[in-house]
Amino acid sequence: MNWILTDNSNSQYVRKHSEYVYEVIFIQKKSANYDVCWQLVNVAEYMSGHEDDLNTILRGYGYADVLDVYEIYGDAAYQIIAECISETVWELSVIVFTGSKEECERYIENLVRT
């Protein structure tokens, strides 16, 4: 699957691995430098036994609950949910590169081209 740019402001890209699993990469500012953060988000893990946590995350983005996301986005709902999870728990990301904002943008651009 190809990477999809989902947020220009932090060079966030998402790539689908399977129905419930998405890879997310983005830039996060840390003091003087920037980090390229990577996550593999399994939406099914949040939907099985953590529904209350997931709905709390989604409410932070203006959605009432998981069903609300489905009604709005249909087949793209899991991707949207993965993005919301990633943005909320970004501190669980793996830092794969650190540098200036421009260096981080180039790192991501090179990654998503391959």
What pLDDT, in 10s, does the model give residues 39-94? 999 999 988 878 889 999 999 999 999 999 999 999 999 999 999 999 998 888 99
Contact present, 98 and 51 (Cβ < 8 Å): no
Residue 52: its pLDDT value, please? Answer: 87
Residue 20: its pLDDT value, please? Answer: 93
Q: What is the CA radius of gyration of the chain?
A: 14
Residue 4: its pLDDT value, please? Answer: 94
Residue 59: its pLDDT value, please? Answer: 96
What pLDDT, in 10s, does the model give residues 6-44? 999 999 999 999 989 999 999 999 888 999 999 999 999
- Total domains, the chain: 1
Distance CA 12, CA 15 (A): 10
Nearby residues of 107 by Cβ (< 8 Å), 6 or more positions away: 36, 96, 97, 99
Q: 79 lies in which domain range?
A: 4-113
Say yes or no to pLDDT of 96 above 90: yes
User: Whose CA is closest to 26, among 15, 13, 17?
Assistant: 13
Residue 47: its pLDDT value, please? Answer: 85
Name the 3-class secondary structure at 1: coil
User: Whose CA is closest to 43, among 68, 76, 9, 6?
Assistant: 76
18: left (phi over 0), alpha (psi -120 to 50) or beta: beta
Residue 92: its pLDDT value, please? Answer: 84
Say yes or no to pLDDT of 1 above 80: no
Query: Which amino acid, one-letter code, is at 88?
Result: T
